Structure formats: structure tokens, C-alpha cells
Amino acid sequence: MCQVLKVSKSGFYKWPSKVKTKRDKENDALLVEIRKIYLKNNRLYGGPRIMAVLRRENLSFSFNHKRVERLMKVNDILSKIKRKFKVSKHAKHNYPVAPNLIEKDFSAPAPNKLYLSDISYIKTKEGWLYLAAVLDAYTCKIVGWSISERQTKKLVKNALLHAVNRQKVNGKIILHSDQGKQYASYSYRDLCKKYGFIQSMSGRGNCYDNAMMESFFHTLKTEEVY
């Protein structure tokens, strides 16, 4: 066994007698919960979504996303969904573009602090439809959405209004999206100002700047829950 595992005999005999620290015991308990969530969701959940579920478990010790991601990596717990990205055809316009305020950092200190938004198309029994969604980066929940046969300004505005009405938001929320003309339009910008949202936009053609939102759409289509 030592030859196969490439460890020394002394190291092998020392390992069973090693006293586990409090941190080791916490990691063991955390790993059990991670595996439970991972298997329950058909091995589709990655780090952010597992972290969101763990936050609701009320475990007796504290942990953060780095600890969860490290345990997943060491134990080869990976989402089996492969992300596919597509550059928006609506990024070419003359509207002003908001700066990128998050720089691929999707962590948020609490709910209603960082929202992500995007548009995708989905196949339904009635045909192809466009879905605009607003996601809370802290809870990983969709807080607002809208569906239409056309990819218009009204589509994204309705999704944002849905989030405002459901969450009872009180402004000062960063709202990140791509540079699509729907999000850069004057009417959408006016709506953001009205409710105190701070707009942020990805770099042109850089889908990884809004990867968390892209991941949601891909998961939605893969799980076929629509």
C-alpha cells in the first residue's frame, strides 16, 4: 500500500495516531455537507451554488467561500457542467458605457448589495423566447425576471422592476450587466437612477466579466427546468 500511495512506512503508521485538531474536525463536517449538497443536485452544483446552500444550513462553525472551494478542489468535487459563452450581438451602439465596478469579483457582503443581469434565449413549448433575469450575487437567487418574444429595452426594464417590487430594495445596489444596448439605453439608465442602482458593465466582448450570470443560464438550460 505504501508503494502504491508513494508514502513512507513511518508516515503511514504515524497517520492513524494523529490527533485531529478542531479545524480538521470542522473540515470533515463541512466536507460531509458539501458532498450531500453535491450529490443531491446531480453533481451539477459548483462552488458558488454550494456555498449559497451552506449559508442556509446554520452550521455551528464559521467558513468562507475560499475554504469551501479548497475542500472541493482537494476532494475532486467539480460541477460537471461546462460553460459556454457567446458574445452579444447588441454590444455595438453609441450609448454611454458604465465602468466595470466588480472586475470579476462576484462576492457580496449581504443580500441586495450586488445584482447581476443578462438576457438569454430559451426553448419552450410555445417556441423560442428571450429571458431577462436579475440575480442576487450573495444568495445566488433570481430576484427578478421577464420574458418576451423580442430582445428589447422593455424586457430588461421589466426584469429590473420585478426585482424592485419583490425585494423592496432601498438603493445603493451595484447592478452589473454586459454592454448591450438594452442596458446602456437612456431609459434603462433613468430607471436605475430612479431606484438608486449603481450601474456596472463588463468589458466589451468579455463574457467572463459576468460569468456568474452566464453560468446560471447554462445551468437552467442543462437542467431543463423551464
Kindly give, in sequence order, each residue whose CB lies less than 8 Å from that of residue 208, ignoring residues fewer than 6 positions away.
Answer: 85, 104
Q: What is the pLDDT of residues 87-128, one digit of tens each?
A: 444 556 778 899 999 998 999 999 999 999 999 988 778 788
**Mean pLDDT over each residue of the chain, to the nearest integer:** 87
Residue that the C-alpha cell 445566488 belongs to: 140
Q: Where are the beta strands (DSSP E) in the chain?
A: 114-124, 127-136, 141-148, 173-177, 197-201
Q: What is the pLDDT of residues 24-73, one digit of tens each?
A: 899 999 999 999 999 988 787 888 889 989 988 888 889 999 999 999 99
Q: β-pairing, 127-136 with 197-201?
A: unpaired
Sign of CA dihedral 5, 74, 54, 40: negative
13-22, 65-74, 146-155: segment of lowest average pLDDT = 13-22
Q: Give domain limits for the chain.
A: 2-74, 114-223
- Bridge partners for 173 per DSSP: 197
- Position 186, amino acid: Y
Cα–Cα distance list, 96 to 92, 111, 119, 188 (Å): 11, 28, 19, 12
| CATH number belonging to the domain at 114-223, selected among 3.40.50.1000, 3.90.1170.20, 3.40.50.150, 3.30.420.10 | 3.30.420.10
Q: What is the mean pLDDT of residues 78-84?
A: 64
- Give the strand order in the sheet containing 127-136: 141-148, 127-136, 114-124, 173-177, 197-201
- Model-level pTM greater than 0.85? no
Cα–Cα distance list, 75 to 62, 70, 194, 217 (Å): 20, 9, 47, 27
- Position 139, amino acid: T
